[in-house]
Structure 1
Amino acid sequence: MTRRATVTTRHGDDESAERVAAALRPDNTAEMETTTDDDAVRTVIERDSTGGLLSTVDDYVVNVRIADTLQS
């Protein structure tokens, strides 16, 4: 069974969201998809195990915080 998480973060405006998404996409694996919608960045992550999903989400959240800090 595949596990799935969707992480949505808001970044103030469209331009900020695009910059954050652009910083995140190079680290995405084949099981991750990052999109933007207005001021939001949305990433869907799929993994085969709960532990793998938790680990990936944890790493992703750290990367979002860094990208958001650096883009502003």
Structure 2
Amino acid sequence: MTTDRTVDERQTDAARDASRTARLRTQHADAETVAAALRPDNTDAMETVVEGNTLVTTVSRATTGGLQSTVDDTVVNLTVADAIVDTTRTHSYE
């Protein structure tokens, strides 16, 4: 027997099944733009919230290895997005 389930129900199950969680708090000159750059790569196991100039990304995964991989990818993406935002803010190409 199969049961049709909504995306929200599947996401709730994924969060409930996740036993490992990491919260990354990073500060940025333009946190909204960095968050927008990261959102396309976010999975159902991730949540990103902007609090002023701070970006809070919470990752929940079922395994430590999965959590580590997702956090590693997120840190690289944060670094690149922040560098691009910083470069565009400090250089004028007129």
State the TM-score, normalizing by the size of structure 1.
Answer: 0.92
What SS does structure 1 have at the residue aligned with 2:60? strand
Structure-1 separation of matches of 2:22 and 2:28: 20
Greater Cα radius of gyration, structure 1 or 2: 2
Question: Paired residue for 2:63?
Answer: 49
Question: Paired residue for 2:28?
Answer: 11
Q: CA RMSD in A?
A: 0.9
Structure-1 separation of matches of 2:52 and 2:41: 22
Establish whether residue 2 from structure 1 lines up as the match of residue 19 from structure 2: yes
User: When you count strand as a share of all residues, which structure comes out higher?
Assistant: 1
Deviation at 1:62, TM superposition (A): 0.3
Structure-2 separation of matches of 1:52 and 1:31: 10
Q: Report sequence identity in percent.
A: 51
Runs of 4+ aligned structure 1 residues displaced above 3 Å come to: none
Alignment-mate amino acid for residue 18 of structure 1 = E
State the TM-score, normalizing by the size of structure 2.
Answer: 0.71
Deviation at 1:2, TM superposition (A): 1.2
Structure-2 separation of matches of 1:43 and 1:7: 5
Among candidates 2, 9, 28, match of residue 42 of structure 2: 28
What SS does structure 1 have at the residue aligned with 2:50? strand
Among candidates 45, 49, 52, match of residue 38 of structure 1: 52
Establish whether residue 67 from structure 1 lines up as the match of residue 81 from structure 2: yes
Aligned length: 69
